[in-house]
Chain A
Amino acid sequence: DSGVTQTPKHLITATGQRVTLRCSPRSGDLSVYWYQQSLDQGLQFLIQYYNGEERAKGNILERFSAQQFPDLHSELNLSSLELGDSALYFCASSVVGQSYNEQFFGPGTRLTVL
């Protein structure tokens, strides 16, 4: 158990819908990252938040957005869903400041768009 929690574990929805994925980082970790794992694109970095502020952006679609709340949990919002958005979405957290900055991954949310 990494200490990072993600809910829900599985999500099945239809095209055009909107969903919210939730992540709670490890206690004390200020930084949260979102990654997408799909068959087509592999594991890709989407976005990073640090203490409530966006820190870095990767290949995140405009239909996707995220935020980190004062209690440090984060939500990834996916809207106007398409079949190609079906993937495993990981959240990771870390303590920024360590030289190697190990990222601890949550168990992921499996999103299926039908």
Chain B
Amino acid sequence: AQTVTQSQPEMSVQEAETVTLSCTYDTSESDYYLFWYKQPPSRQMILVIRQEAYKQQNATENRFSVNFQKAAKSFSLKISDSQLGDAAMYFCAYRSQGAQKLVFGQGTRLTINP
């Protein structure tokens, strides 16, 4: 079974600085999808960014980008120019090509210091 590990339970960063959240996963599959979800205090799950494993180019969405290292099974999230609104729990998630379910990591709580 696939597993997702987020080794940083908590992270903090100064406003306007850059922060990187780590995620590793374990799978024997070659085709899959990876996601980062944000969960603010409202508890709503919001998709931040996604990466298809077959794509070598790292995904980017505005201030959010990923560093996808397929061989190392690593999928980190970089947030540039951190803003107060970025404060949230961030979950890394895996989905295999065939299955539809998401497998989540334990989450990283990100605090933004003004």
Interface residues as binary, A54-98 with B (CB distance below 8 Å gives 1, 0 otherwise): 011010000000000000000000000000000010101010100
Residues of chain B with a CB closer than 8 A to A105's CB: 37, 44-46
Interface size on A, residues (CB 8 A): 27
Q: Are B107 and A42 in contact (CB under 8 A)?
A: yes
How would you classify the secondary structure of chain A's contact residues: helix, strand, loop or mixed?
strand
Asked if B78 CB lies within 8 Å of chain A CBs, one says no
Asked if B47 CB lies within 8 Å of chain A CBs, one says yes
Q: Are A45 and B102 in contact (CB under 8 A)?
A: yes
Residues of chain B with a CB closer than 8 A to A90's CB: 45
Interface residues as binary, B25-56 with A (CB distance below 8 Å gives 1, 0 otherwise): 00000000100010000111111001010000
A103 to B99, CA, bound (A): 13
Asked if B62 CB lies within 8 Å of chain A CBs, one says no
A94 to B46, CA, bound (A): 14
> Which residue of B52, B101, B106 contacts A100 across the interface (Cβ within 8 Å)?
B52
Chain B residue with minimal CB distance to A90? B45
Q: Are B101 and A45 in contact (CB under 8 A)?
A: yes
Asked if A114 CB lies within 8 Å of chain B CBs, one says no
Asked if B112 CB lies within 8 Å of chain A CBs, one says no
Residues of chain A with a CB closer than 8 A to B37's CB: 105
Asked if A2 CB lies within 8 Å of chain B CBs, one says yes
A residues within 8 Å of B by Cβ? Answer: 2, 31, 33, 35, 42-45, 48, 55-56, 58, 88, 90, 92, 94, 96, 99-105, 107-108, 110
Q: List 28 A-B contacts (CB under 8 A).
A: A2-B44, A33-B102, A42-B105, A43-B91, A43-B102, A44-B104, A45-B101, A45-B102, A45-B103, A48-B100, A55-B100, A56-B101, A88-B43, A90-B45, A94-B100, A96-B100, A101-B33, A101-B95, A101-B100, A102-B47, A103-B102, A105-B44, A105-B45, A107-B43, A107-B44, A108-B43, A108-B44, A110-B43
B residues within 8 Å of A by Cβ? Answer: 33, 37, 42-47, 50, 52, 91, 95, 99-107
Task: List 8 additional contacts besides A58-B101, A103-B102; criterion CB under 8 Å.
Answer: A44-B104, A45-B102, A48-B100, A48-B101, A105-B37, A105-B45, A105-B46, A110-B43
